[in-house]
Structure 1
C-alpha cells in the first residue's frame, strides 16, 4: 500500500495525524519496526506543511510509538507501548509461559480470608496501610537485610515501578534495563518518555563490564530483577551482587530499583545490590506470584524521601490500595494452613 492510500483518511492537523498513525500501529496497519515516510513525502501526500507532519512525529516519539534515527528516518518502535490482548492464541499442544502466571492449582484459597473479613467500613482519613500486612512485610524485608524504616503498599509490582520512576525522573532520562527483559517494563519506560538503556545479563544477573559501560555513559535509574528474572529465570548470585553493589555505590544519584516480583516463591535466596546508606533506592515485592495476580498488592521498601513522594502522589490518585485486598493478603500470609512450596 502506498503513502497516498494508507494516509488518505488521515486528519490534516498534527494532533489528528498522530492519533491516526497511533491507531494504525495499534491495529497492525502499520507494522512494528516499519519505516515511516519522510516528513516532506507525507506532507505532500496530505497537502499540509512539513512542520505539521514533523510535529505529529514528535508527538508519536514522546508517546514511545516511534523512534528516530537521524538521516535513516523515523520508524515504528519494535515494541510500541500500546494496548494489546492479554491472551494470545497458541497452537494446539503448546503451553504459553510468557504471561508469568502462577499455576492455579498451587494458589491458596481466599475463601477463609473473605469469610473472616471484619465487617467495618474503611472511610476517608483511615490509615492507608493495614497494620498486620505492614508488620508481615517488615519482618520479610528485615529477614533479607532490607531496611524497612520506610514502606508503602502499592497495586502490584508494575504499579510500584511506575510510581517510583515518576517521582524521580523526567522525560528523556536514561534507565538501565535488563537485556533480555520483561516486555511490560520496556513498554512502561516508553510510555513515560524515558530512554531505555539495555544491560546484558547472564544467569547470575547483569554483566559487570556491561553495567560499568552504561554507568559511565550516564544513567538516571537502574531496574534489576534479583531473582526469577523474566524471561531468563536468572537470579543474582552473592558474589555478583556484591560486585555490582560496589559499582553502583560510586553513583549516589542513581535511582536503584529491585523488582522482586516473585518473592520467596522464586526458589532462590534474595541477594541485593542496595548498599547501606544508599540515597535513592526501592525494593518492590509483589504478592501476585505467591497468592494470585488478582490480589493487586505489592510491598515497597525504600529511602525515606522516595517512599514519602510515592505516598503523597498516591493519595492524590487512587488514595490507597483496597483494605479488602490488604487484609486478604495478610490473612493468607499469616494463616498456618496456607500451603508452602
Structure 2
C-alpha cells in the first residue's frame, strides 16, 4: 500500500540541509522505524512534489539517492516500493536523532566570518545544481560507469574552451584543456611535464604560499620577485642572470595584493619567455570578479608563441568543495601533457564533471557569474563601510579593482600574526599578510574575505570585535 506524505515530519526551509536531503532522511527514518515496511509503495514523485509544494526535480533527487542506496526499488507502472528484506535497524548515529532532526552526511565546522577563498555560499543556486545533479544521475549509462578519461570529460572540456573564448579572449580547442582536481594538481602536472628538479621558478613576493611550497617539494627553487602597484616586477624576473625556467603569476588580481599586471609588463614577460624558451603559468583564480571595469583579458590571450599555460579553477566561482580546476596548454604541448596526465590526472569524478558541463552549456554559469559580480561589489562596499565605522580613520583599507578579499592595514607597531591568532580563538577568520611574504616586507595587515559578509551592520559588529582584540 502507499503511505501518505503527511505521515512524515515537516520540512525545514531554514535548515542548512538541502530539501532533497531532508526528504531522503525522512524516508530512511520511516523505513528504519517501521513506519514504512518492506514492500510498501511510496508516493509517486509527482504526487509528493505537489503535496509538499516542491519542484519535481527535488523529489526525484531524493528518490534517486534512496534507489542508489537500495532502500527503494522502482517497479515501473506499479510504482516505487520499499526494498523487500531490507534491514530495519538504526545505526548509532541515526538512533541519536531527535524528532524532526536530519542526520548530517558531512560533519563540518561552520564558515567563519571573513573566511578566505570562499565564494558567497548562501547565494549559490543549490536548487538548480540539485536538479542538474538528479538529471545527470538519471542519465547515467552503463558505459558511463567505466573508467573515465584522465584528461576530463569531453563535453566539459568543450564547454570550458567555449567559455574561455567568449569571456577571457583565449583561443583554444577542447584538446588543449585538461580537467584537474584543483590548482595544486594543475601546478604539479605542469612541473612534472615541463620542469626538472633544480629548475628556478619566479614567484610573486608576497604571493600565494602553496605555490612556493609545492614547487619546493617537487625539487624546484622558487625565486621571489617583488610586487608593486603594476604587479610583478618583471624586470627583476628577466634580469640579473636568474636563469629561471618559468614564472608563476596572478595577472588579473595579484594574490594577495589584488593589483593588476600592467600591459607593458605583460608584454615584457611574454618577450622574456619567448627569448629564454621559458614558461609562464597564469593563475587566473578569480579574474571574473573585477568591479571598476570589465574583466581584463587573460595574459594567455596575448600569447603568440605558445609560452603561457592558463590555470583556471571552479573553486572560487562555484564552491571549493567541488575540487575542480582546469589547465589550457599550448597546442604543441598537448601530446606531452596527455602522456604525463596518464600518471598525474584522473582525480575528479566524471559525474561531477557532467554536472559542471551541463551548468555551463545551459547558461547557468554565465548568469551566476553576472549575479556574483554585482553581489560582491555590493558586499565589498558594505564591508568597507562597516569596518570603517567600527575602526575609525586610524586604519586603511587598500583600494582594489577586484577580488574576493580586503587588505586591512595595521600600524607598524602591531603584529598581524599575533592578532590573527587572537581572532581565530574568537571565531573570526583572518590571514596575516606577512605570512605571504618571503623577502619583501609589506607591513602588517589582515587579509579578510568579504564574499560571505551579508551586510554593513554585520561588518561593523565584526570590526568592533577586531578593535577590541587589538588592544
TM-score scaled by length of structure 1: 0.65
Which structure 2 residues correspond to residues 191-340 of structure 1 after superposition, within 5 A?
191-213=217-239, 216-251=241-276, 253-267=277-291, 268-272=295-299, 275-319=302-346, 321-337=348-364, 338-339=367-368, 340=370
SS in 2 for 1:177: strand
Runs of 4+ in 1 over 6 A off after TM superposition: none
Shift of 1:246: 3.0
1:119 alignment partner in structure 2: 140
Is the 8 Å Cα contact of residues 263 and 287 (structure 1) preserved in structure 2?
no
Contact 1:133 1:326 in 2 (8 A): yes
1:140 aligns with 2:163: yes
Gaps of 5+ in 2: 1-107, 373-471
Aligned length: 249
Cα distance, 1:191 vs structure 2: 0.8
Report the 3-state secondary structure (helix = DSSP H, G, I; strand = E; otherwise coil) of the residue aligned with 1:262.
coil
Kept in 1: contact 2:169–2:301 (CA 8 A): no
Give the whole-Å Cα distance in 1 for the aligned partners of 2:313 and 2:289. 11
Instruction: Provide Cα deviations, 1:264-301, integer angstroms capped at 9, x if missing partner.
Output: 23553234167544244310111111111111222211
Is 1:175–1:223's contact at 8 Å kept on the other side of the alignment?
yes
C-alpha distance in structure 2 between counterparts of 1:126 and 1:218, whole Å: 37
- Quick one: structure 1 residues 335 and 125, their matched pair in 2 at CA, closer, same or farther if it must change by over 3 Å? closer
Is 2:154 the partner of 1:131?
yes
Q: Deviations over 1:45-104 (max 9, x none)?
A: xxxxxxxxxxxxxxxxxxxxxxxxxxxxxxxxxxxxxxxxxx999xxxx9444x422221
Q: How far 1:147 moved relative to its partner?
A: 3.4
* Equivalent pair of 2:300/2:309 in contact (CA under 8 Å): no
Q: Which runs of 5+ in 1 are unaligned?
A: 1-86
Cα distance change, pair 183–113 in 1 and its aligned pair in 2 (3 A): same
Q: 1:322 to 1:203 in 2, by over 3 A?
A: farther
Specify the alignment match of 1:164 in structure 2: 190
Show CA shifts across 1:224-266 (max 9, x none). 1122322111222334323433343322x20211111224235
Which has the higher Rg, Structure 1 or Structure 2? 2
Q: CA deviation at 1:179?
A: 0.7
SS in 1 for 2:161: helix
The structure carrying a bigger helix percent of its residues is 2
Distance 2:362 2:229 in 1: 34
Q: Is the CA contact 2:192–2:340 (under 8 Å) kept in the aligned structure 1? A: no
RMSD, aligned α-carbons: 2.9
Call closer, same or farther: CA 1:210–1:127 in 2, change over 3 Å: closer
